[in-house]
Chains A and B, each alone.
Chain A
Amino acid sequence: MGADDVLARTHAFTIDGLRARRVSVEVDVRPGLPAFTVVGLADAAVREARERIHAAIHNSGFEFPARRVTVNLAPADLPKAGAGLDLAIACALLGAAGQLATERLEHVALLGELGLDGGVRRSHGTLAVAEATRRAGLTMLVLAATDAHEAELVDGLQLAVVERLRSAVRVLEGGAPDARSRRSPRSALAACAAPRALDLADVRGQHHAVRALVIAAAGGHSCLLRGPPGTGKTMLAQRVASILPPLGREEAVEVARIHSLAGARLVGLPRARPFRAPHHSITAAGLIGGAQRGRVGEVVLAHHGVLFLDELAEFARATLEALRQPLEDGRVVIVRARHSAVHPTRFMLLAATNPCPCGYAGEGERCGCSESEVARHNRRLSGPLLDRMDLVVNLQRSDGAGLDGAATTSSAAARARVLLARERQARRLAHEGIAINAHMDVRAVLEHARLDARGAELLQRARAGGLLSARGEQRALRVARTIADLNASERVRAADLGAALALRAEAGLGDVRAA
């Protein structure tokens, strides 16, 4: 170890799943053959930082020390990923080489990728990094101009925007940061580019399905849309996001953090709920996460929003099986050889499927499938997932009315009803720590979904008639509670339960025709 002035230390963050983990960046410069070594489980992007930093330092008018340079990223056992560490390494290196005063360096966090010309580029996960910086008690976060909007979402944190490595050095020596770019141009652009919101008023006919979707949205219930091709399953599903209430502030921050970590570019806090519709070729790791360290799955990206699985029967069975924990627990625990993570997954599940392989079951002669083919098709769905569908809605080709038929409702009207119902739920469930009926556990169902006398008698008969399993009963009661909430009724009436039962999956869907 040489004299103190050849060692410099600063802070950066690496993304580990949904968390930003603090990394101390230490740089030691000592006499010896010129070398540049990075230690501390760095991934390829970090190792390649050497070349970028080398060029950036030269091109910013500084001198790269022609000595032996060692960069240590601590803690040593935490794998570091991404190019967001470039700026921190470069500044610490300049500090160790005596080209930058080191007093401030130790109390700030730096985030950004370097270009060869010394420009600072954005890095993903800014929001999480900003939150972590404040938690770590560091005085300032130095970051790229393009990341500033995201970091601004965190209150009480001093931000320094830098466009080039040279500006970063100036800031660290007490100078002024660069001017922030105006937010307006891009957000104006984003507003223009946003597609016209999808509206339920576009849906002609299919009144039954629309009513069912309003129920699903009001209580956050999972819903399967089943019907022949061309009946509007996908069209309806895409419009569910339009009747969900906007994200609350806390939810929005959570969603923003997740999406920023996944690399999305945020312009202010999101208001609309996420709508994720992965293709059916997705793998279990793609859906759940954990394919590689820090990569979150679609279920996590759908947190507080909607996960839509179109052509449910085409998904690999293992993929659908993997949905069980996220659906039941509202979180997913991923354990891999070198890491483990817990991710929140509170989403509303929507799925669509054909009723048989050819799609035309129930359309008379048009369906060419044999009974055994239909049974096999239904078996693919049954079991794990169908058992967790709160609502099953069958869509039929609308006859007569066709496209001239009237729309059931507009998204605005439906959302107003959903909002009112959700307010009732939130008030009732506040002391349970949940906000919607779909999240009620057995005890909460018992307490909040009390049936009137006729309802209790109906439930009793449904149970005796073999229409309901124990789990099915819980689901039916939750849905009945939501229907009552939509009707602004504190008590769950027999009619509410009756409607909920009519919307359940028919008993033993998988084997009803194979008998």
Chain B
Amino acid sequence: MTSAPREPYRAHARTAHGACRECLRRSWLLSELSPVLDSLAPRRERLNASLALPDEALIAALGGRRRESLRARHAAFAPEPSEPGRGVEAICRHDPGYPRALRGDAAPWMLNIAGGAGARLTRLTAGPLVALLGSRRASDYGREMARTLARDLTASGVTVASTLTDGVGGAAQTGVQDAGGGGIAMLGGGLGVCPTRWRTLYGSLTARGCALSELPHACPGRRWGLPAGERIAVGLAGLAVVVEARETPHELGAAHTARALGRPLAVVPGRVTSPLSTGPHALLREGASPIRDAEDILELLYREPRPPIRAGGRVAERSLALEPDLRTIIDLVGSGADTPDRLVAAGAEPSELLHALTELELRGLLARGENGRYLPRHAF
């Protein structure tokens, strides 16, 4: 980054790197300020406010003792020849194809898109878009709900945006993949450092969806990266859905961002005794809409009842169509008897139980979660 200044770029001209020099410089500046931004990550309003500042003000506010050297390097900035990275396309707010939803001050200046899919981003963000948000330490229930919602929404033609993380975010992207569609996933670091365990999802995002980052290609994942990613997902979305979150400023940060941006909020209710559902329930009391399935989300999006295109109806309706013995089992699982021993204790017939569980799993009505506990799922 300290290389000699090259031929000056004309302001707002698209460079060989895809984005203009100012926007690439913004991305560089953010990566330079990462340590300070990390310290802001727990205080979401301050983080968002900082990210909304213009470059000069940002250096003044966060630069500290490095202000002078940062200013000098900022003035002399030339993009790294390696940016934006192989197979990655950069797109900035000066590009006519830049998503309109991201034109506000708080929005990112530029985005790196894996797979060179700038046109795809434009297409995906043109239609209805829902952000699925929640804890990185979600329960089986939260993950299963996120996955099912994402799958059914994708199948119904709604784009799903989330962060690419453990918990709700990763489960949502898995659901998108289940439906064979493409979603929008925010990474916490540069695209070049996607963790190995996300490679499969990253691959399908590159092929059909968009993996996005506002940081330089090789910038390692940062603590502030995911909260900032949530602000982008929420910014793109017409509706933000909190699936599972503790009632803490950190885990509800995305919801507060959504409210600040004026996006409608919806939540997936859970058990009132579960710490992971305290967040959604708190939001519910403040007026968020409760969500049971993709159909409810579609209704909120289109303001009229609208059946999901390929989803299989509500749990209650579907279990009516089942054989009585299978219906008994799925109702018992749904009400908390999630292990064979508990099911037998709740009155299931031991000799037929395992067969029934297999049958329900095959039909996609049950899944196995942590340590083999059964949980209901919505079949396709």
Task: Name A's B-contacting residues (CB within 8 A).
Answer: 205-208, 211, 226-228, 355-356, 361-365, 367, 370-372, 374-375, 392, 394, 396, 398-401, 458, 461-462, 465, 467, 494-495, 497-499, 501-503, 506, 512-515
Contacts and interface: CB of A to CB of B under 8 A. Distances in A.
Residue of B166, B174, B355, B369 with most chain A CB atoms under a 10 A cut-off: B355
Interface string B350-380: 1110111111011010001111110000000
B238 to A, nearest CB: 26
Given A362-B371, A498-B355, A396 B362 contact: no
Given A207-B341, A394-B339, A362 B358 contact: no
A244 B206 CA distance: 54
A502 B355 contact: yes
Contacts of A228: 371
Contacts of A362: 369-373
A374 B372 CA distance: 13
Nearest to A355: B371
A471 to B, nearest CB: 18
Nearest to B175: A515
B370 A361 contact: yes
Given A494-B355, A499-B354, A467 B362 contact: yes
B91 interface: no
A461 to B, nearest CB: 5
A515 B171 contact: yes
A207 B352 contact: no
B350 to A, nearest CB: 7
A506 B373 CA distance: 11
B195 to A, nearest CB: 8
A396 to B, nearest CB: 5
26 contacts: A207-B341, A208-B340, A208-B344, A228-B371, A355-B370, A355-B371, A362-B373, A364-B139, A364-B274, A370-B137, A371-B167, A372-B166, A375-B197, A396-B371, A401-B345, A458-B362, A495-B352, A498-B354, A499-B358, A501-B361, A502-B340, A502-B361, A503-B354, A513-B143, A514-B197, A515-B174
A228 B368 CA distance: 16
A502 B370 contact: no
A495 B362 contact: no
A514 B202 CA distance: 12
Contacts of B139: 364
Contacts of B275: 365
B201 interface: yes
Given A365-B275, A461-B362, A503-B354, A394 B372 contact: yes
B361 A467 contact: yes
A506 B372 contact: yes
Contacts of B177: 515
B341 A205 contact: yes
Given A207-B344, A227-B371, A498 B356 contact: yes
A495 B197 CA distance: 37
Interface in B153-196: 166-167, 170-171, 174, 177, 195
B342 interface: yes
Secondary structure call for the B interface: helix
Given A371-B170, A467-B361, A495-B355, A506 B368 contact: yes
Residue of B171, B344, B362, B370 with most chain A CB atoms under a 10 A cut-off: B370
B333 to A, nearest CB: 13
Contacts of B369: 362
A367 B339 contact: no
Given A208-B340, A361-B370, A515-B177, 17 more contacts: A226-B371, A356-B370, A356-B371, A363-B371, A370-B137, A371-B137, A371-B170, A394-B339, A396-B372, A398-B341, A495-B351, A495-B352, A499-B354, A501-B361, A502-B354, A515-B171, A515-B200
Contacts, number: 104
A365 B277 CA distance: 12
Interface residues of B, number: 40
Nearest to B351: A495
Given A228-B371, A355-B370, A503-B354, A498 B359 contact: yes
Contacts of B362: 458, 461-462, 465, 467
B288 to A, nearest CB: 24
A373 to B, nearest CB: 10
Contacts of B340: 207-208, 502
Contacts of A494: 355
Interface in B112-147: 136-137, 139, 143
A396 B368 CA distance: 14
Contact of A394 (B174, B356, B371): B371
A416 B47 CA distance: 69
A56 B342 CA distance: 71
B243 to A, nearest CB: 15
A499 B370 contact: no
Residue of A226, A362, A370, A497 with most chain B CB atoms under a 10 A cut-off: A362
B170 A515 contact: yes
Interface string B270-282: 0000110000000
A458 B370 CA distance: 26
Given A208-B340, A362-B372, A365-B275, A502 B358 contact: yes
B359 A396 contact: no
Residue of A208, A365, A461, A515 with most chain B CB atoms under a 10 A cut-off: A515
B200 to A, nearest CB: 7
Contacts of A498: 354-359
A344 B16 CA distance: 68
B355 A361 contact: no
Nearest to A507: B368
Residue of B171, B197, B200, B352 with most chain A CB atoms under a 10 A cut-off: B197
Contacts of A370: 136-137, 166
A399 B342 contact: yes
Contact of A396 (B136, B200, B339): B339
Contacts of B143: 513
A396 B197 contact: no
A502 B357 contact: yes
A374 B275 CA distance: 21
Given A394-B339, A394-B372, A372 B197 contact: yes
A120 to B, nearest CB: 58
B166 A371 contact: yes
Contacts of A465: 362, 364
A226 B358 contact: no
Contacts of A211: 350
Which 6 interchain pairs have the tightest Cβ spacing? A498-B355, A394-B372, A362-B371, A499-B354, A362-B370, A371-B166
A501 B371 contact: no
Nearest to A361: B370
Residue of B355, B364, B372 with most chain A CB atoms under a 10 A cut-off: B372
A398 B195 CA distance: 37
Contact of A361 (B197, B341, B371): B371
Contacts of B170: 371, 515
Contacts of A495: 351-352, 355
Contacts of A375: 197
A474 to B, nearest CB: 17
Nearest to B275: A365
Contacts of B354: 498-499, 502-503
B47 to A, nearest CB: 23
Contacts of A401: 345
Given A355-B371, A515-B174, A400 B166 contact: no
A139 B167 CA distance: 76
A393 to B, nearest CB: 8
Nearest to B344: A207
A515 B341 contact: no
Contacts of A206: 341
A24 B350 CA distance: 65
Contacts of A398: 341
B352 to A, nearest CB: 6
B199 to A, nearest CB: 10
A364 B370 CA distance: 9
